[in-house]
Amino acid sequence: MFPFKVLDRYVLKSTVKPFLGALAVTTMILLLDRVFDLMDLVIKKGVPLDVVGLVLAYSLPFILSMTIPMSVFVGSLVAFGRMAQDHEFLAMLSSGISLNRAIASVVLAAVLITLFLFWFNDRVVPESNYRLKNLILDIYSKRPTAQIRQGTFTKVGPFWIYVGKKDDRTSHIEDVVIQQLTNTGTQTIIAKDGSMFIDTARRLNFVLHRGELHEYDRRAMDYRRVSFTEYRLQIPLNDELIRKQRKWRSDREKSVGMLLKEWREVRRRWEETERKDRGLRRRMNSLMVEVHKKFSMPIASIIFVFLAAYIGFLMRRGGFGPAFGVSFFVFIIYYVLLISGEDLGKRGIVPPEIGMWWADVFYAFATALIYKLWVRA
């Protein structure tokens, strides 16, 4: 038994560094888009660095929930490919040690990672997503121009606001269009430039220069145009709506217990309506999709260890280059199946459990087929 214990430690140790390296690389790749947004917050919107650091910290758990299973595959493929290249697997097989026995310690580590991810996806990820949303609401509340993007219309209360160019530090805006739709007609304000700020009464104030006010009354069939050198507009901010947003949690901000509790409540309402409400049925499907997603992705870590071992044994090449090349296609197929299953599950075309597990079933079947046709042969 002692040689096997030494073997287990050796194989496991061989995968640790590649796993950590792959985790760092894949996490940084997925963080790049977030990093660009964070730099925009610092440079253009003047958000303090400590707040930006919190945005990054709260974004990290969701990314790790995806990159950890990916890194298990990449790290295992690097290690097992190198061992096959150096004929270490061949030496083990010659000694009567099967390939599955040789990777037993890594499989055990993958099981522990899976159990950790069950807890991580259920407790840490929903809470970090919830705190991230509230932090973004704080940023938008204190800096209104952070919410209003240039070159696109943004809805604030009953107004649609378009800004061609803006300075987030000074709140200076240019090429402004503000439109309000009412039951009787429309009011459109066009201005060359201006500024915006929030006063002590929690109102969004616009001070606009060199523009025109266009009003159309549909009932009276009356049209009015007024030119101005300065025009002031106040829009009351709906703090009640913001408070509701703070309390409300999306599905990705809920634990399994929260999701199942809501599912039971929605199911009760669905049964009381004699099962005719498609909206309630779709909501039930969405909730169950999120529940199964918290378990299906961690389980993939165990499947990926076996798949990496068999591919590495056949490929007989180590290094991150070949590993990332193979991993790219593996992950593309996995996430296409995952996303399509999620969509079909929410729409009720397939049961939610089938939609969220068929990616794992596909790779489990593919792994078993590779072992039967090429590895064991």
- Residues 8 and 135 placed together within one structural domain of the fold: yes
* Residue 281 lies inside a defined structural domain of this protein: yes
Task: Assess contact for 351 and 345: CB atoms under 8 A.
Answer: yes
Query: Are 62 and 182 found together in one domain?
Result: no
| Residue 299, domain member (yes or no) | yes
Rounded to an integer, what distance in angstroms lies between the CA atom of residue 137 and that of residue 253? 15
In angstroms, rounded to a whole number, what is the distance separating the alpha carbons of residues 197 and 171?
A: 7
Same domain flag for 120 and 197: no
Cβ count within 10 A of residue 184: 13
Domain span including residue 323: 2-141+276-375
**Are 137 and 210 in a shared domain?**
no
To the question of pTM greater than 0.75 for the whole model, the response is: yes
d(CA 88, CA 77): 14
Q: Which residues pair with 191 in a beta bridge?
A: 176, 211
Tokens representing 211 are 């523009």
Same domain? 10 vs 137: yes
User: How many Cα atoms within 13 Å fall on the side-chain side of residue 145?
Assistant: 27
Domain end residue (candidates: 237, 262, 285):
237
Q: Strands 203-217, 185-198: parallel, antiparallel or unpaired by DSSP? A: antiparallel
What total number of domains does the chain contain?
Answer: 2
Same domain, 7 and 136: yes
Rounded CA-CA distance 205/156 in Å is 12
| Cβ within 8 Å of residue 204, ≥6 positions away | 144, 156, 196, 197, 198, 234, 235, 236, 237
Residues 120 and 53 placed together within one structural domain of the fold: yes
Q: What is the pLDDT along the chain (377 residues), one digit of tens a residue?
A: 444 588 899 999 999 999 999 999 999 998 887 777 777 766 666 677 888 889 899 999 999 999 999 999 999 999 999 999 999 998 999 988 999 999 999 999 999 999 999 999 999 999 999 999 888 877 766 665 667 878 888 888 788 999 999 887 778 899 999 999 888 889 999 999 999 887 777 788 899 999 999 999 888 888 999 999 999 999 887 655 455 567 789 999 999 999 999 999 999 998 888 767 888 999 999 999 999 999 999 999 999 999 999 999 999 888 899 999 999 999 999 999 999 999 999 999 999 999 999 999 999 999 999 999 988 76
Q: Which long-range contacts (CB under 8 A, 24 or more apart) does 322-330 make?
A: 322/77, 322/81, 323/18, 323/22, 323/74, 323/77, 323/78, 323/81, 324/25, 324/74, 326/77, 327/70, 327/73, 327/74, 327/77, 330/73, 330/304, 330/363
Any residues with CB less than 8 A from the CB of 86 and at least 6 apart, and which? Answer: 318
- The DSSP output letter for 87 is T
One-letter amino acid identity for 157?
Answer: G
Statement to judge: residues 226 and 335 lie in one domain: no
In whole angstroms, give the CA distance from residue 270 to residue 252: 23
Whether residues 105 and 133 share a domain: the answer is yes
Q: Which of 237, 254, 286 is the last residue of a domain?
A: 237
Residue 147 lies in a domain: no
- Domain final residue, candidates 237, 268, 294: 237
Q: What DSSP character marks residue 250?
A: -
pLDDT score of 1: 42
CA 215 to centroid of chain Cα atoms = 43
With 0-12 CB in 10 A as exposed, 13-18 as middle and 19+ as buried, what is 192?
Answer: middle
